[in-house]
A = this chain, B = another copy of it.
Amino acid sequence: MDIASLVGVLLAFGIIGASIGMGGPFIIFVNVPSVLVVVGGTFGATLMRVTLADFLGSFKIGMKAFFYKLDNPQQLIDEAVEMANIARKEGLLALEGREISNPFLQRGIGMCIDGHSPEVVSKMLSKDINLTIERHSKGADMFKAMAIYAPAMGMIGTLIGLVQMLSNMSDPAAIGPAMAVALLTTLYGAVIANAFASPLAEKLLLISAREKLNKALIMESISAIQDGTNPRVMQQILNAFLPEGKRPTDD
């Protein structure tokens, strides 16, 4: 599991929280109506752009970004080559009942064992790949929209607060705190956009690209196993999916 996003969000919010805590009481930064106008306004504007189903689904996608486990391509290659060796010596059916870590690989091998033709297996698996890409891309689009609307809603909240403060300046002592509250929405909007929504959208696109690569590797593996390709040749082909620096020396 890559914990960069989790560490990153904790670091960003921790640092911002510490910075707030060191300068005075934390409570002056908590204002429920301000939270509502920024979060609610951002949700409202984002919801206008999409359908209800996409909106609700994107949060599940977003949360996954923090806990996503991407299989190590090297391990996938090792596992696929091992299965190719078995399938070559004992036939495809010898793979039945074998425990396979990656569900996509398992699904593909299961189809092979069930006797589906290579074309059908390939078509079904590529559908699964496209579905994952599409889900992640919709999620990334949603968080990008939030990164645009959150600062805008923050500014709207601050303008509302300023207008209210300026309309009633009879008590000079109240001006400072009123302006402090007005600025909170701008702060919330900037934090949501820069310490949450924008990096999350980028991470979802990164995960999407890596997962697509892994699934393409698996599709290639399954195709090679079905075709009975020599496992050493298969390994050399699959090595092309590894980042260049991590390839085993293959001369």
A40 cross-chain contacts in B, Cβ below 8 A: 11-12, 14-15
Query: Contacts A162-B183, A180-B162, A199-B45 hold; do A50 and B127 have CB atoms under 8 A apart?
Result: no
A44:B8 contact, CB within 8 angstroms = yes
Contacting B at CB under 8 A, from A237-251, are 243-245, 247, 251
What's the nearest-Cβ distance from chain B to residue A200, in Å? 7
Partner of A37, one of B16, B24, B169, B202: B16
- Per the bound structure, the CA–CA distance linking A49 and B159 in Å amounts to 30
B29:A163 contact, CB within 8 angstroms = yes
B179:A49 contact, CB within 8 angstroms = no
Query: Contacts A177-B166, A203-B50 hold; do A190 and B156 have CB atoms under 8 A apart?
Result: yes
What's the nearest-Cβ distance from chain B to residue A126, in Å? 10
Write 27 A-B pairs (CB below 8 A) sorted by A numbering: A5-B47, A5-B49, A10-B44, A11-B44, A14-B44, A15-B41, A20-B164, A22-B33, A23-B164, A24-B164, A24-B167, A28-B163, A46-B199, A49-B202, A124-B251, A130-B244, A145-B199, A148-B198, A149-B194, A149-B199, A155-B190, A159-B187, A163-B180, A163-B183, A164-B180, A165-B180, A166-B176
- Per the bound structure, the CA–CA distance linking A18 and B51 in Å amounts to 25
A4 interface residue (CB < 8 Å to B): yes
A11:B130 contact, CB within 8 angstroms = no
Mark interface residues in A36-73 (1 if CB within 8 Å of B CB, else 0): 11001101111111111001000000000000000000
A51:B2 contact, CB within 8 angstroms = yes
Q: How many A residues touch the partner, as a band?
A: 35 or more
A130 cross-chain contacts in B, Cβ below 8 A: 244
Query: Contacts A131-B245, A177-B167 hold; do A2 and B52 have CB atoms under 8 A apart?
Result: yes
Nearest to A132 among chain B residues (CB) is B244
